[in-house]
Chains A and B, each alone.
Chain A
Amino acid sequence: MSKPLKQIHLAAHFPGVNNTTVWSDPKAGSHIEFSSFVHFAQTAERAKFDFLFLAEGLRLREQGGKIYDLDVVGRPDTFTVLAALAAVTEHLGLTGTINSTFNEPYEVARQFASLDHLSGGRSAWNVVTSWDAFTGENFRRGGFLPKDERYSRAKEFLATTNELFDAWHGDEIVADQASGTFLRDAKAGAFVHSGQHFDIHGQFNVPRSPQGRPVIFQAGDSDEGREFAASSADAIFSRYAQLEAGQSFYTDVKNRLAKYGRRHDQLLILPAASFVLADTDAEAEVLAKEVRRQQVSGATAIKHLEFVWNRDLSSYDPEGPLPGIDPDLGDDHISKGRAQVRMYRDPLATAREWRELAAANNWSIRDLVIETGNRQNFIGSPETVARTINEYVQADASDGFILVPHITPTGLDDFADKVVPLLQEQGVFRTEYEGPTLRHQLGLAHPDEAAAERAAS
């Protein structure tokens, strides 16, 4: 018997603060006006996507001690814009990236429980960590958290918010006008948590929300991050959208589930994926190259080289050859507030490799950055893109994708109109939403059912 076809999950990442987003295109609209968010969310909902995804950064990025000005800068507050989007959508899940370092569990639990009530059960939380003193300068406690404690804080943060979400069971509010009993129990919402990072107690003041708890996403890639996901997350926002890399990540993470008593279908793997569509594959290839050139201006190419060289390279010509000098290996990195710099673990080797590549191909600095940068994940006609996405999912490279368009706010329109119908025809993507809550779309049990199942087994 052949394996049944997996159903694909699709989500929409609002384009944002990175050089994937092409703000220089004449079609590019506002990144901050609410109308852009409405267009984007309603397009995703029209296409029956599972959810919208928002990233977050809590300090404007800097390079060489100055605010980085070449990418989109500025974004709304995550919770607040998601609450407003709940008013203009009905089924779309609302996933927010919220930091566990520069927040407190009681407040974050209130915000997610409130968002879940206000959206009728559509909230999700991408739990991220941060430890840098740079971001801490915007917050009460500054850079209080040592790097090696960020996952232990994140784990305890999530466990603590779960205790708060579970402090109400759902049957406490009687609201019997005749007898005058509003609450069944005077201790409703009672909680006590005493741990390494948090020592709190009292009564939580938001009653049980429709989903019980928000759907939990995790995005880290380290061994610790993967264990955190396997133990505690409902879904992973990963960066492995290619076939082989995706399969290897998928197998690795799903195999970690058993030790936590969890099944393979209780953790979804959803990589971020970019795409370029055109009428034919050949046209799409040409367009994809143009987009990559738009994404890497001459100025962006120099700044990108600085990540590796860790030096001010502003005197170099982006259309000229690579620098002859070697990278600065000092600890104080030229770039602040972004994760990308951690990708280059051996800058001397990368610099040597890039010089050789550039010399062999007669590439300028800008050519090199474009050619060594990420190719879009799915390039082609709607038929090609639909077929490839389905093949990847059926081959267990993922359970679906979080699509990252390069144009705000219309970058998802063609995908919604041209690719989604093909996936629906193939019977691998929904034509109607499965139920009112995000857990319904993702095929995840309500936490109460999940708890009952664990107790029975």
Chain B
Amino acid sequence: MSSTPASPLHLAVALDGTGWHPASWREQVARPRDLFTAGYWADQVAEAERGLLDFVTFEDGLGLQSSHYGELDGRTDQVRGRLDAVLTASRIAPLTRHIGLVPTVIATHTEPFHLSKAIATLDYVSTGRAGLRVQISARPHEADHFGRRTFPPISLEELRTPAGQERLTDLFDEAADYVEVVRRLWDSWEDDAEIRDVATGRFVDRDKLHYIDFEGAHFSVKGPSITPRPPQGQPLVTALAHQTVPYRLVARQADIGYVTPRGAEDARAIVAEIRAEQEAAGRADELVHVFGDLVVFLDDDQAAAEDRRARLDALAGEPYESDARIFAGTPAQLADLLQELAAEGLTGFRLRPAVLGHDLPAITGGLVPELQRRGAFRTAYEADTLRGLLGLARPANRFAAV
């Protein structure tokens, strides 16, 4: 370990149901019957805010959860059903003060115009703490919920073939256009567009409202937004990325990319690839965070964490596998791992608690104090907005005359 004090890390927690392990709902601390109440989500976010975390993300999807990528699995032994992530985040916003709120939005079947004003509004109701996590859906059964497009069957294995990659590329291109529209709409009002000039009777200066005139392969959007520019100017755009195509989306359009390195060498290679794409996209001088995603089982000793993992795997009937590395150990061991990965260029981490009711309090009550002792995590919230917490300045409006 380097002896110089590490630069402070950023920490987020990914909220999904009762936790990321499919058997998590069967733990005593889980509250599976409360999943569809506001109180449940308020309690989780309050816990995360007690730990001074930068933000929480909310998973979402346009179909029932499934253990198979491309189809429903018909299982009845795991959590199924969820509430809309943007609305859940908004419901929690007035109950919290500092923590960022980053719901998942699915670009594939939804309207960028609606989504742009929804996240702008989340930014208003949270006074500057909103972001979004953009996701695509290649799932045929979700396309069938909309009936406007037909997607052929797909499995995770097929997605890795050249033909599968081509399909993904098309959906990611659409997502890139989607984010472009969302961002232009946020800027479609200049900050001082509202003038309330009683002498001329004008409420707005319409020269400060802008048509965005976006025309793309998948949609055209005229603008301006019906919602004024949000408090942060540009709320956070984030995306999970596992390979080159989504790395490119992160590099071109996002403020944060979540990546899934298996180890230090892997982390270094991923960061290098994203930085190269960032340079190619002409954003070399912009701060783009790269966060490592990890599933965590946290206990006071490593054996307890490993036992818990084994017990949950046994309950589930199979070992839990994840796109992200699965960690089971103590807060100090996790702190070591985070600092080791951070040395390779990761700027923060999004932790996926295996059992929310157990591992989220272990993050806030164990990992956070451990990192604070090492001078690697904040001891108080230092900014009022999510951009502020992440060291991102409020951006100038792209349409404003310089």
Contact = CB atoms under 8 A, between A and B. Distances in A.
Interface stretch (B80-88, B293-301, B392-400): B80-88
B121 A23 contact: no
A173 B36 CA distance: 11
Interface string A14-27: 00000000011000
A297 interface: yes
With most chain B CB atoms within 10 A of its CB, the pick from A71, A79, A80, A83 is: A80
B227 A299 contact: no
B77 interface: yes
Contact of B315 (A33, A67, A180): A180
Contacts of B281: none
A79 B91 CA distance: 10
A118 B124 contact: no
Contact of B226 (A34, A74, A168): A74
B62 interface: yes
Given A77-B117, A182-B77, A106 B62 contact: yes
B128 to A, nearest CB: 11
A67 B206 contact: yes
Is chain A's binding surface mostly helix, strand, loop or mixed? loop
Contacts of A32: 124, 227-228
A206 B83 contact: yes
Given A57-B226, A80-B121, A181-B77, A118 B83 contact: yes
Nearest to B224: A60
B228 A74 contact: yes
Interface in A70-92: 70-77, 79-81, 83-84, 86-88
B74 interface: yes
A182 B32 contact: yes
A137 B113 CA distance: 10
Given A74-B227, A189-B64, A200-B145, A180 B121 contact: no
A199 interface: yes
B118 interface: yes
Contacts of A417: none
B127 interface: yes
A183 B80 contact: yes
Interface string B73-109: 0111111111110111011111100000000000001
A202 interface: yes
Contacts of A199: 147
A299 B200 contact: yes
B202 A70 contact: yes
B107 to A, nearest CB: 11
Contact of A205 (B63, B202, B209, B227): B63
Interface string B55-69: 000000111110000
B202 A299 contact: yes
B145 A138 contact: no
A88 B93 CA distance: 10
Contacts of B23: 180
Interface stretch (B213-221, B338-346, B365-373): B213-221
B76 A182 contact: yes
Contact of B147 (A71, A186, A200, A300): A200
A83 B122 CA distance: 10
Interface stretch (A44-52, A109-117, A238-246, A403-411): A109-117
Nearest to B202: A69
Interface string B200-211: 111111100100
A206 B81 CA distance: 5
Given A114-B83, A205-B62, A205-B81, A75 B227 contact: yes
B196 A24 contact: yes
Contacts of A250: none
A66 B210 CA distance: 11
Contacts of B84: 79, 110-111, 114-115, 206
Interface of A: 23-24, 32-34, 38, 57-60, 66-67, 69-77, 79-81, 83-84, 86-88, 102-104, 106-107, 110-111, 113-115, 117-120, 137-140, 142, 168, 173, 175, 177, 180-186, 188-189, 198-203, 205-207, 209, 297-300
Closest 9 CB pairs of A and B: A299-B201, A297-B201, A84-B125, A137-B222, A114-B84, A80-B121, A175-B32, A83-B90, A76-B121
Given A87-B94, A139-B221, A186-B76, 20 more contacts: A38-B94, A60-B209, A69-B205, A74-B204, A75-B226, A81-B90, A87-B95, A103-B114, A114-B84, A117-B36, A177-B27, A180-B77, A181-B76, A186-B75, A201-B145, A203-B64, A205-B82, A206-B84, A207-B81, A299-B201
18 contacts: A34-B125, A67-B204, A69-B204, A71-B203, A76-B120, A80-B121, A81-B124, A83-B91, A104-B146, A107-B109, A118-B87, A120-B38, A173-B36, A189-B81, A200-B147, A201-B145, A203-B64, A299-B201
